[in-house]
Amino acid sequence: MKPDIHPEYRPVVFQDTSSGESWITRSTIETEETITWEDGQEYPLAKVPISSTSHPFFTGTMTIVDTAGRVERFEKRYGKRKRQTESSEE
């Protein structure tokens, strides 16, 4: 590898702002905040709005959004689309 062209790969604490969960991993992300971790050392802090600890898909709390009426509203606004039938393709 060429010297002085790669970003610093170091331990970084990621914090999910939705659930408050934190974990430490290695990253090259640039941060301005720091946090004192459980081991007493200070690490860069990267805040993320959602992660696997708070995302509904991973937590099992995902709900089905009612989409009834969306096609009807589209057709009302833009008109019905023409459907191709086998007889019209000949």
Segment 38-66 mean pLDDT: 76
DSSP state string for 58-86: HHT-------TTHHHHHHHHH-PPPPP-H
Residue 37 · residue 18 · CB < 8 Å: no
pLDDT, the chain, mean: 80
Residue 29: predicted pLDDT: 93
How many helices and strands in the chain, by DSSP H and E?
A: 3, 4
Higher confidence at residue 34 or residue 2?
A: 34
Q: Kindly report the pTM of this predicted structure.
A: 0.59
- Decide: helix, strand or coil at residue 59: helix
CA-derived radius of gyration, the chain:
25
Q: Return d(Cα 24, Cα 13) in angstroms, integer.
A: 4
Reply yes or no on whether the pLDDT at 11 is more than 70: yes
